[in-house]
């Protein structure tokens, strides 16, 4: 009887902290990218076995989607906060300084998880590529709407193309992330921000 009890105890699923496991998965995907991260990388980083990973988070792609949600909620909250700034210039400044802060924080892996994922998932037929593209477009649309509001308030010149300006801001932010991943310093990236603001004539 005692032997059977011991056997059952050993067969129980390993208890783990789901939030901590998700955070470790985020860090691993951020460092190595979606394609570069193996299931072994994930299970070792998260401190769980494969059956526990599948039972709790689904497959690798499903886990990555959960990681993207977590990243959006925590690491890129500055984007949502920027949209609340009172002027279009302040919106752009907050966004660009926010990405510089994110990608140069020594506590974070280099670059931006989202931008790096977009670059690594190059197949338009891949459902993950499509989701990443939809997330990018959704963010760009939110910025576009904010600039439309700025136009209606007289905060932007009347001939401003709000959609093009939103696309420009998103493109600069993605470029900053790529530059950071390849070793650009914080000072260099802040120079990019200043040049971008001048280009906007704001």
Domain harbouring 67, CATH code: 1.10.10.60
Residues 144 and 48 in one domain: no
3 domain-assigned = no
153 domain-assigned = yes
pLDDT at 130: 85
Residues 101 and 64 in one domain: no
Average pLDDT of 101-122?
86
Residues 58 and 112 in one domain: no
Q: How confident is the model at residue 13 (pLDDT cuts 50, 70, 90)?
A: low
Q: What pTM was estimated for this model as a whole?
A: 0.83
Residues 107 and 164 in one domain: yes
Write the CA distances from 173 to 23, 76, 83, 178, integer angstroms: 24, 12, 15, 9
Q: Is residue 113 within 8 Å of 26, Cβ to Cβ?
A: yes
Which of 8-12, 161-165, 196-200 is modeled with the greatest confidence? Answer: 161-165
pLDDT in tens, 60-71: 999 999 999 999
Considering only CA atoms, which of 172, 181, 159 is closest in space to residue 112? 181
Residues 59 and 128 in one domain: no
Considering only CA atoms, which of 29, 21, 28 is closest in space to residue 53? 21
Last residue of one domain, picked from the residues 71, 97, 115: 71
In terms of residue numbers, what domain contains 94? 76-200
Nearest-Å Rg of the Cα atoms of the chain is: 21
């Amino acid at each position: 009887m005692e032997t059977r009890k011991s056997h059952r105890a050993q067969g129980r699923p390993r208890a783990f902290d789901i939030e901590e496991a998700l955070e470790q998965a985020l860090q691993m995907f951020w460092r190595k990218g979606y394609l570069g991260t193996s299931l072994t990388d994930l299970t070792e980083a998260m401190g769980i076995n494969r059956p526990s990973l599948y039972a709790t988070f689904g497959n690798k792609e499903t886990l990555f989607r959960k990681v993207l949600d977590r990243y959006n909620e925590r690491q890129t909250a500055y984007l949502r906060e920027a949209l609340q700034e009172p002027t279009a210039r302040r919106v752009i400044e907050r966004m660009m300084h926010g990405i510089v802060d994110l990608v140069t924080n020594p506590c974070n892996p280099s670059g931006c998880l989202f931008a790096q994922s977009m670059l690594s998932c190059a197949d338009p037929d891949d459902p993950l590529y499509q989701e990443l593209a939809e997330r990018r477009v959704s963010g760009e649309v939110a910025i576009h709407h904010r600039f439309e509001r700025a136009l209606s308030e007289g905060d932007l010149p009347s001939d401003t193309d709000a959609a093009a300006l939103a696309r420009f801001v998103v493109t600069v932010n993605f470029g900053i992330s790529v530059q950071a991943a390849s070793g650009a310093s914080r000072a260099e990236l802040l120079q990019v921000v200043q040049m971008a603001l001048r280009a906007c004539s704001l």
